Amino acid sequence: MIDLYLALPAFIVGVVFLYKGSDILVDGTSKTAVRLGISSLIISVILIGFGTSAPEFAISVGAAVQNQAGISLGNIIGSCVANLLLVLGIGAIIRPLSVKKGIVKREMPITLGATIMLLLVSFFGLLDAHHFVGGIIFLVSFVAFVVYFIRCAQKERNKREKYDNSAIRKNILFIILGIIGVVAGALLLIESAVTIAEFLGISPFIIAVSMVAIGTSLPELVVSATASYKDESDIAVGNVLGSNVFNILLILGFAALFIPLKANILESIVHLWILLAVTLVMFLILYTGHSISRKEGVFMLALYSVFIWYTFFGYSLFF
């Protein structure tokens, strides 16, 4: 935990790491995709999705090891909501995101399916009384997801032209350095945010769903915002969808191996339904126009503001 007097400097350093790391990451990804003849969407879903989910993995699995179920599950739910509404909302405001039909037919249904699976597994107690079983189900599903996308990448790679191996190695190095930068920056921001929140006396669950979730979504936010600015819509959207699938299947899968995640208590169930509703809204937005306009981006940010208000104030009013 960062000392209180170091929280602000850590926050500033974290911002610098996030900005520079995301810039390198987006450039490395787009150039590698072009040289390999693979769509930047495939790379962003798998590679960047994994890299930007590293903070969620560290927080949620670490919390599970320390028997902090509320932080473990709350961080994932809050992060997935932030990815869909906050991250894509800001990206669309920077530049309207034109989405390929493949996203609607392939990536978005997978994200929606993972979210529905999370709700069903929670409903049947497979993240609580039988949490080990639920963890295995998620991890097996994650392996199937990765294998599927690797096969998609191989099919696209068959159409590639000749490429320079040395240039590709250089771009892959940029991707790795970019991931390190955004993860290191996010971890610094998370630590500083949690320190400030605990100093103000905010409960662990609220910290997990709001501040920690926003903190762990900062890599996705900066990467997608940078990609949107550079007119790389596939990276901006693929990063978010891939990250949500990683969050649910990989991270919760690992966390569930250690402890019951308290997914069947009222507080968790309500937020799980909110996540499903948000995912359905995003599916409709992408399905109807294959794009996210600036107006829709503003609407998404408004929805996220309502979500944060509910997290801090609404729950106590209704329950």
> Which domains does the chain carry?
4-310 (1.20.1420.30)
Judge whether 11 and 192 are in contact, CB under 8 Å: yes
Q: What is the pTM assigned to this prediction?
A: 0.81
Residue 117 pLDDT exceeds 80: yes
CA dist list (Å): 15 to 51, 78, 81: 17, 21, 22
pLDDT given for residue 252 in this prediction: 93
Query: Which residue bears the tokens 């103000």?
Result: 200
Cα–Cα distance for residue pair 199/8, rounded to 1 Å: 13
- N residues, the chain: 319
For residues 273-279, give the mean pLDDT.
96
Under DSSP, is residue 292 helix (H, G, I), strand (E, B) or coil? strand
- CA-based nearest residue to 106, from 237, 292, 253: 237
Cα–Cα distance for residue pair 73/82, rounded to 1 Å: 14
Under DSSP, is residue 97 helix (H, G, I), strand (E, B) or coil? strand
For residues 214-226, give the mean pLDDT.
81
- CA-based nearest residue to 18, from 152, 168, 180, 167: 180
Q: With the CA atoms of 254, 257, 262 and 268 taken in that order, what torsion angle do they form, in degrees rounded to the nearest 10?
A: 20
For residues 247-251, give the mean pLDDT.
93
Residue range 287-312, pLDDT digits in tens: 887 789 999 999 999 999 999 999 88
Residue 161 pLDDT exceeds 60: no
Cα–Cα distance for residue pair 189/59, rounded to 1 Å: 13
H/E stretch holding 118 reads: helix 108-123
Cα–Cα distance for residue pair 263/243, rounded to 1 Å: 20
H/E stretch holding 98 reads: strand 97-98
Of 69-73, 81-85, 166-170, 207-211, least confident by mean pLDDT is 166-170
CA dist list (Å): 145 to 52, 139, 240: 17, 10, 15
Question: How many Cα neighbours within 13 Å face the side chain of 229?
Answer: 13
H/E stretch holding 148 reads: helix 131-157
Q: Give the list of residues 6+ apart from residue 279 with CB closer than 8 angstroms, or none.
A: 80, 84, 111, 112, 115, 244
Higher-pLDDT residue of 126 and 212 is: 126
Under DSSP, is residue 291 helix (H, G, I), strand (E, B) or coil? strand
The CA-to-CA distance between both ends of the chain, in Å, stands at 32
Under DSSP, is residue 318 helix (H, G, I), strand (E, B) or coil? helix
For residues 128-138, give the mean pLDDT.
93
